[in-house]
C-alpha cells in the first residue's frame, strides 16, 4: 500500500516511526517531523520519497548509504545523531527505574573501524543490503581505517577462489588478519594460499583453521604487545580501546588490587598492571594464553595473574572478591548477571563496567544499585559510528 504519512519519532534501529490505522510502521532513512511517501506492508515501511524534509536531515557522505545496510544514520545532523545514541542508553535505564544522566558523549570513531566483516556473493562483495540477505557491492567503505581500503578487493578475490563466503578483517600493527567462513564442505585452502603474498596478509584462516601466517597479528595495549588469537575479541576502533583503557585506569586510580573480569586478551589488565596488582579472568582460553605471554614479555608491570574461568557458571564469589579493592567488568552482550549479584553482596569499593548492550547493562546496574552502589559516572562511547550500537563506560562506588 502506497501512502503519505508523517514521521513522529525514531525507533531503536534509527527507523522513522509513523502510525497508520493504529499500526506503528517503521521506515528506514526517515526522520521525525518529515512528511513522506512510503510503501507500507504491515509494520514495515519503505521510503519512496521525502515530501517535506526535516531541517535535521543532511546529505550522507557515502554514495552507498541507503542501499548498503552497514550504516543507518548518515542522514542525521549531529544533534539528532547524539540524541538518538544517548536515548539508546537512557531508555533502558528509565525502564529499570534508574534516574541518571549521561555525563559525556564521546566520539571514539578515531581513524575508522579496524574490524569489519564483508560478504562474498555472486552479486558482489560488501555488506548486506538494507532489510535484505542480498549483498550490496561496494568498491570502498569510508568508515574503515585506511589499512582496510582493499577489503572489498580481497573479498572478491576470495570469492573467485572458493565461492560464497563471509570474510572477517582485523587491521593490526603487523598487517591484516583475515578469517574466512564458508558453508562449502570442499572449500580449498590451497586456492586461498596465494592471497597471503598477493595482499601481504599477516594471517589467513579458513573456518577457524590456519592456512598461512606470514607473521603474528599484533595489537598494542599500553606498554604491551599482544599476539592476537584467531577470532579473539578486539574493540572496533583503536581510539575506543585507548579511551576505555584510560577511563578504567582513572576510575580505579589508587586501587592496589584489581580483578579484571571478562578480561579478553588484556586491554584493561595490561594497563592496570602498570599501577596495581591484577587478577585477570576470562573463559577464552586462547585469549588468556595470549595475555599471559604478553605479560611475560612486558617489563615494568606489577603482578598480573591471568586465569581461565567461566564467569557465567562460576562467578567470583563475594568471599573471593574480598581480596580486591576494585573490579573492572567488560562482559559480552549477555551482560554479567551472575557476577554482579556476587559483587552486590561484596564489599568491593569501586566497579568500572564497560558494556556493549544497554538493556543488559541496565539490568546489571540495577542489581549493583540495589546492593548499595551508586552510579557515579556514565558515559556513552561512540565507536560504532553511524550504526545503532553504542558502548557504555560507567563507574559504581559504595
152-176: string of b/e by CB count within 10 Å (b at 16+)? bebbbbbbebbbebbbbbbbbbbbb
Among candidate residues 71, 141, 263, 356, the one labeled active-site is: 356
**Residue 141 known to be catalytic:** no
How many whole angstroms separate alpha carbon 30 and alpha carbon 6? Answer: 10
CB-neighbour burial class of residue 146 (10 A; exposed 0-12, middle 13-18, buried 19+): exposed
Question: Do residues 291 and 306 lie in contact, with contact meaning Cβ atoms separated by under 8 Å?
Answer: yes
* Three-state SS at 147: helix
Cα angle 242, 244, 248 (rounded to 5 degrees) comes to 115
Q: What are phi and psi of 132, to 5 degrees?
A: -150, 160
**Cell for 157?**
578475490
**Cell for 103?**
555525563
Q: What are phi and psi of 157, to 5 degrees?
A: -65, -35
Q: What are phi and psi of 53, to 5 degrees?
A: -70, 150
Question: Do residues 70 and 115 lie in contact, with contact meaning Cβ atoms separated by under 8 Å?
Answer: no
According to DSSP, the residues that pair with 38 across neighbouring strands are 3, 47
Q: How far from 123 is each of 119, 128, 131, CA to CA, in Å?
A: 10, 11, 16
Q: How many CB atoms lie within 10 A of CB 63?
A: 12
DSSP 8-state symbol, 76: B
Q: Which residues are catalytic?
A: 356
Amino acid at each position: 500500500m502506497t501512502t503519505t504519512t508523517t514521521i513522529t519519532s525514531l525507533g531503536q534501529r534509527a527507523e522513522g516511526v509513523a502510525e497508520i490505522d493504529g499500526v506503528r510502521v517503521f521506515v528506514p532513512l526517515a526522520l521525525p517531523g518529515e512528511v513522506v511517501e512510503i510503501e507500507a506492508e504491515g509494520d514495515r515501511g519503505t521510503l519512496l520519497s521525502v515530501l517535506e524534509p526535516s531541517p535535521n536531515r543532511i546529505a550522507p557522505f557515502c554514495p552507498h548509504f541507503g542501499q548498503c545496510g552497514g550504516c543507518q544514520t548518515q542522514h542525521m545532523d549531529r544533534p539528532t545523531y547524539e540524541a538518538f545514541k544517548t536515548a539508546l542508553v537512557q531508555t533502558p535505564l528509565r525502564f529499570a527505574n534508574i534516574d541518571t544522566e549521561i555525563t559525556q558523549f564521546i566520539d571514539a570513531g578515531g581513524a575508522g573501524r579496524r574490524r569489519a566483516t564483508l560478504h562474498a556473493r555472486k552479486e558482489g562483495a560488501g555488506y548486506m543490503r538494507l532489510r535484505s540477505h542480498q549483498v550490496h557491492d561496494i568498491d570502498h567503505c569510508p568508515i574503515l581505517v585506511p589499512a582496510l581500503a582493499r577489503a572489498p578487493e580481497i573479498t572478491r578475490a576470495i570469492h573467485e577462489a572458493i565461492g560464497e563466503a563471509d570474510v572477517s578483517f582485523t587491521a593490526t600493527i603487523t598487517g591484516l588478519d583475515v578469517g574466512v567462513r564458508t558453508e562449502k564442505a570442499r572449500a580449498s585452502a590451497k586456492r586461498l594460499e596465494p592471497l597471503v603474498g598477493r595482499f601481504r596478509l599477516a594471517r589467513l584462516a579458513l573456518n577457524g583453521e590456519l592456512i598461512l601466517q606470514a607473521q603474528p597479528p599484533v595489537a598494542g595495549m599500553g606498554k604491551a604487545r599482544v599476539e592476537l588469537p584467531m577470532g579473539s575479541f578486539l574493540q572496533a576502533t583503536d581510539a575506543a580501546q585507548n579511551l576505555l583503557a584510560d577511563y578504567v585506569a582513572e576510575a580505579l586510580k589508587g586501587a592496589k588490587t584489581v580483578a579484571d573480569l571478562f578480561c579478553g586478551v588484556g586491554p584493561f589488565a595490561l594497563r592496570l598492571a602498570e599501577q596495581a596488582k591484577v587478577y585477570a579472568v576470562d573463559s577464552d582460553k586462547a585469549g588468556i594464553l595470549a595475555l599471559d605471554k604478553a605479560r611475560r614479555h612486558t617489563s615494568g608491570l606489577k603482578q598480573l595473574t591471568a586465569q581461565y574461568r567461566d564467569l557465567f557458571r562460576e562467578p567470583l564469589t563475594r568471599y573471593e572478591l574480598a581480596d580486591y579493592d576494585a573490579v573492572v567488568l567488560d562482559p559480552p552482550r549477555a551482560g554479567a548477571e551472575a557476577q554482579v549479584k556476587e559483587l552486590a553482596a561484596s564489599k568491593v569499593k569501586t566497579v568500572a563496567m564497560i558494556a556493549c548492550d544497554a538493556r543488559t547493562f541496565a539490568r546489571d546496574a540495577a542489581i549493583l544499585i540495589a546492593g548499595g552502589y551508586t552510579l557515579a559516572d556514565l558515559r556513552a562511547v561512540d565507536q560504532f559510528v553511524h550504526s545503532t550500537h553504542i558502548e557504555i563506560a560507567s563507574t559504581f562506588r559504595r
